[in-house]
A and B are shown apart, each in its own frame.
Chain A
Amino acid sequence: MLPLVSLTIFTPLVGALLIAFVPRDRPQLTRWVAFATTLVTLGWSLVMLAGFSTSASGFQFTEDVPWIPFFGIRYQVGVDGISLILIVLTTLLTAISVLASFRPIQDRVKEYMITFLVLEIGMVGVFAALDLFLFYVFWEVVLVPMYLIIGIWGGANRIYATIKFMLYTLVGSLLMLVGILATAFEYHASTGVWSFAYQDLAGFHFSPALQVFAFVTFFLAFAIKVPMFPFHTWLPDAHVEAPTAGSVILAGVLLKLGGYGFIRYSLPLYPDAAHTFAPAIIALSVIAIIYGAVVAVVQPDFKKLVAYSSVSHMGFVTLGIFVFQSQAMQGAVFQMVNHGLITGALFLCVGVIYERTHDRRFANLGGLAGRLPLYATTLGFFMLASAGLPGLSGFVGEFLVLIGTFAVAPLVAGIAAIVMVLGATYLFYMFQQVVFVDLSDFLKGLGDHLHDMAPIEIATLVPLAALVLLLGLFPAPVLDMIQGPVSGVLDHVSHGVALGFLP
């Protein structure tokens, strides 16, 4: 049997090496090699999806090879429903992002494509790793390519943004390294065996002190990545300065790493600490939902608005995770997928208009409905999906989170539901400013530059639109996949009890 997980992880590496040998004066060839690589990678992940059994419990397609035997560190990868759906999301969005970079990226194409493919290795690896040490390695591998993508191919203020992004995420992840090592050490101290394997560590009853310490370090790493209020301040800068494809990946995949980390590691490994901190995290999530929405309302910049809406939408994810309720957590996972598709698409839409105008301020936009009808329709579709229109996928995730939360904490659910109105406010405002009102003088001055979407742009958006519609109407296949793993995680959590603060 093929090592499908490893193939998915390392196919981009092969592609990156191939591109290294493509002559510098053949950028078009470079682009196609990169795109073909991402398609092959997507293919591998789809093969996994096809062969995945929703009824089987535990991890599938596992591979297990000793890596550093002195510490029981293994190259151990595999997928369950949650990680597989996120891997498919990753490979899909990477392929779309590479396609979306064909035109905007004209400078250093070779370096760009190599960086992007290396980024994909890290992202898929994080979702597939079943060894905590390996997970950390992939987690950090993500960092440097993203740093370069924002810093080299980003906008005017890119250096500030990329250093801020790097330092924020690095502080979080380095502390997590201490947490990981402390966890493995305590496991070693009580069993006499070194292991970083998820299956060994999950459900192992770590001492309260370790749980609190490790949970806090993990929380910092994940909360910065999600990002949760008040660790979100790197996000608007990074998004605004990143090139379009960078934003798509940042919003579509990188933010999910945090949510995934909570579900996969924070809860099963440190259930007591999770119970202890859950109220505070729920409060932060609600703040993020409200705050992201309120700040989005007043943004004068198209891209910044979408960036802040991410803070709000990801608040639903963390809320759904930390109420420890089955439907809510399924909703959280579903919301991660949705947010990847919808916000990814919205950033692509921002990119489409930016390509033509090199401006994203609402003051200079407007009236596109008449000039770019196809674009206006597409934007409208994703805007409605983001607002949570029933029948589109955005609705399913938020609805599940809300009913799940309502069963546990009605007040919180009530507040979150009311805030969804705010979400509609800024999205409709955005749509109005961009698509309706009068065509601005600035846009009139662009003349023929302002043409409707090109085939390649349509090609990037159509698959996303189709999936949003499909998942909105038939969420069951995805929910079936994530149901089993979610109940597994909740099973671990249910053994936890809140610790007296502090132990």
Chain B
Amino acid sequence: MNAGDVTAILPLAATWGLAFLVILVDVIVPGRDRLASGIATLGALVVMGITAAVATQVPQQAFGGAYVLDQLTVLLDLLFLSIAVLTLLYAPDYLRPRRLPLAEFSATLLFAISGAMLVSAARDLLVLFLGLELLVLPGYLLAGFAKRDGLSTEGAIKYFLLGSFSSAVFLFGLAYVWGVTGTTNVSGVSSALQAVAAGHPLSPGLAMGLAFLMSGVAFKVAAVPFHYWTPDAYQGSPTPVTGYLSVGPKVAAFALILRLFVGALAPVKADWVAAVVILAALTMTLGNLVALTQTNVKRMLAYSSIAHTGYILVGLAAYAGAAPGSEAEARGLQGILIYAVAYTFMNLGAFAVVAALQRRPGVTSDLQTFAGLGRRAPLAGLLMTLFLISLTGIPPTAGFFAKAYVILAAIQAGGIVAWLAVLAVLNAAAAAFYYLRVVVYMYMREAPEAAPPVARGFELQAGLAIAAVATIVIGLFPNSLIAIAEAAAKALL
């Protein structure tokens, strides 16, 4: 390990260090929850600063090319750390009234984030798998964090069982790919497949491997029909955890897709594009259709997050469907990244409002809880409206711009993928119905007597402000985000 290696792994190492520091603080001064979570939040901000600082010295490699710090890693790391910061800001107002330990939560979350960061930097199949497991194991803990709550435990167990199963399927697929190509190095796999792809049909082994990898990844991003664990895990988890689960592991799984499918399996992309197109179409449509019938906002957001997975998959389909080296290929990848960023802020924002409403233990996330919010807490109502409008995809918000971007990529890719664009907007129209139903409750129904109070802690307000500003700024001035996404996509191609 040399000096260059140190710079390359600095963001990741700093995150690990921070997680251990939080544990240490909790051990030395037990019971000082606020201190621990404050350290975690500020620390994550510092790590973001470090990441931005090393961003000027990319690309760098470490550990013989198994780990790489390039523009993509930087973008994704910053995104993961933002997720951590926002989740840490939203958590206290929800966890403290329920007497759930904030310090443990912060440390667990940071470990999960470090796993996601490892995925975003991995250039080796085994490191990818390692990062993936480091990401999901703390995720199971977080899902079952309210351990005396039956729903939380049930959701965590479902999440754990299907999660481990899908990890096994994924590992199985990796083994096949290793068997066919004889290497676990991403660029090695890519060049080995280049030879395979030259005109021959896929060997049975590689076909099996692709199928297993695709299924494993589909589980992780919660694509239909591999989504069954999502609603229960999401509804049962404590709300800030649900917010995290709906973005963190999902974006990380897309990072995995970028590193694995785009990085290593690109030469045979003609063989997996059809699967992505079908997955995208199914995921968008089913996610939205089922979300239409939900009366619990958390569950509704869970299904809608499935639908958003579908929109991101449209970006992947655009990449896979485009001719190698074409502009549409890069556009699709940029679409994935831009959508992931926009989705992170708007979805976390929406979950933060839900969490704020559930300040008092026992308050459900039923639609009824939102009745009259526009009058009870005008600002919370306004922000929720903003996030829902963005999730629907109405300008001038981040959600609109992201959707327009993937649609443009799909049109550019042409062929069958272009029709995904039409399907995507029809889905967006259907989604408007259930998103705006929340607005109906907030503004067009009166609050019940003795409506529970809405949390307005400082951290929560700061977090909501960040999410709201990001949602608007990305919608109105997306130029710098496009530039960053272009650089990141270029690093990958």
A residues within 8 Å of B by Cβ? 68-71, 108, 111, 136-137, 140-141, 143-144, 147-148, 151-152, 158-159, 162-163, 166-167, 170-171, 174-175, 177-178, 181-182, 184-185
Contact = CB atoms under 8 A, between A and B. Distances in A.
B408 interface: yes
Given A158-B444, A170-B394, A171-B426, 12 more contacts: A68-B482, A69-B479, A70-B486, A111-B374, A137-B400, A140-B400, A143-B394, A147-B436, A159-B444, A163-B436, A181-B404, A181-B421
A128 to B, nearest CB: 16
A68 B479 contact: yes
A452 B410 CA distance: 60
Contacts, number: 81
B223 interface: no
Contact of B408 (A152, A167, A181): A181
B436 A70 contact: no
B422 A167 contact: no
Interface stretch (B150-158, B196-204, B260-268, B427-435): B427-435
Given A163-B440, A185-B408, A174 B426 contact: yes
B66 interface: no
A167 B433 contact: yes
A277 to B, nearest CB: 19
A185 B436 contact: no
Nearest to B432: A170
B360 interface: no
A434 to B, nearest CB: 31
B484 to A, nearest CB: 12
A159 B426 CA distance: 22
Contacts of A182: 411, 418
Contact of A70 (B389, B395, B479): B479
Contacts of A143: 394
Contacts of B65: none
Interface string B401-413: 0001001100110
A72 to B, nearest CB: 12
26 contacts: A68-B478, A68-B479, A70-B486, A71-B408, A108-B375, A111-B374, A111-B378, A137-B396, A137-B400, A147-B436, A148-B439, A151-B443, A162-B444, A163-B436, A166-B432, A167-B429, A167-B432, A170-B394, A170-B428, A170-B429, A174-B426, A175-B422, A178-B407, A178-B411, A178-B421, A178-B425
A159 B429 contact: no
B11 interface: no
A184 B331 CA distance: 15
B432 A181 contact: no
A108 B486 CA distance: 45
B249 interface: no
A420 B374 CA distance: 46
Interface string B369-412: 00000110010000000000100011110001000100110011
A144 B389 contact: yes
Interface of B: 374-375, 378, 389, 393-396, 400, 404, 407-408, 411-412, 418, 421-422, 425-426, 428-429, 432-433, 436-437, 439-440, 443-444, 478-479, 482-483, 486
A144 B428 CA distance: 15
A178 B421 CA distance: 7
For the residues of A in contact with B, the DSSP-based class is: helix
Given A68-B478, A140-B395, A141-B395, A185 B412 contact: yes
A137 B411 CA distance: 19
A136 B403 CA distance: 14
B480 to A, nearest CB: 11
Contact of A177 (B389, B425, B432, B479): B425
Q: For B411, B425, B439, which residue has the most chain A Cβ atoms within 10 angstroms? A: B425
A223 B267 CA distance: 46
B396 A174 contact: no
Contacts of B389: 144
A483 B374 CA distance: 48
Contacts of A68: 478-479, 482
A151 to B, nearest CB: 5
Nearest to A181: B408
A140 B394 contact: yes
A111 B382 CA distance: 10
Nearest to B334: A70
Contact of A166 (B396, B404, B428, B436): B436
Q: For B389, B443, B486, which residue has the most chain A Cβ atoms within 10 angstroms? A: B443
A181 B389 CA distance: 21
- Cβ-closest 7 pairs across A and B: A174-B425, A137-B395, A171-B429, A181-B408, A170-B429, A151-B444, A70-B482
A152 B432 contact: no
Q: For A158, A174, A181, which residue has the most chain B Cβ atoms within 10 angstroms? A: A174
Contact of A163 (B411, B425, B433, B482): B433
B462 to A, nearest CB: 21
Contacts of A166: 432, 436
A296 B385 CA distance: 37
A181 B396 CA distance: 16
A177 B482 contact: no
Contacts of B483: 70
Contacts of A140: 394-395, 400
A162 B407 CA distance: 27
A144 B435 CA distance: 12
B396 to A, nearest CB: 6
Nearest to B327: A188
Contacts of A137: 395-396, 400
A151 B426 CA distance: 23
Contacts of B395: 136-137, 140-141
Nearest to B423: A178
A185 B411 contact: yes
Given A70-B482, A158-B444, A174 B404 contact: no
Nearest to A172: B429
Contacts of B418: 182
Nearest to A133: B404
B422 A178 contact: yes
A181 B411 CA distance: 8
Given A68-B478, A167-B432, A177-B407, A148 B443 contact: yes
Contacts of A178: 407, 411, 421-422, 425
Contacts of A184: 408
Contacts of B426: 171, 174-175
B419 to A, nearest CB: 10
A83 B394 CA distance: 24
Nearest to A171: B429
A151 B440 CA distance: 7
Contacts of B408: 71, 181, 184-185
A478 to B, nearest CB: 32
A162 B404 CA distance: 25
A136 to B, nearest CB: 7
Contacts of A108: 375
A360 B418 CA distance: 49
A144 B443 CA distance: 13
Q: For B400, B421, B444, which residue has the most chain A Cβ atoms within 10 angstroms? A: B444
A144 to B, nearest CB: 6
Nearest to B385: A144
A171 B429 CA distance: 5
A162 B432 CA distance: 12
A137 B478 CA distance: 14
Q: For B393, B411, B482, which residue has the most chain A Cβ atoms within 10 angstroms? A: B411
B440 A159 contact: yes
Contacts of A174: 393, 425-426, 428-429
B219 to A, nearest CB: 30
Contacts of B404: 177, 181
A294 B392 CA distance: 38
B285 to A, nearest CB: 15
A144 B397 CA distance: 13
A13 to B, nearest CB: 12
A171 B424 CA distance: 11
Given A166-B436, A170-B429, A181 B407 contact: yes
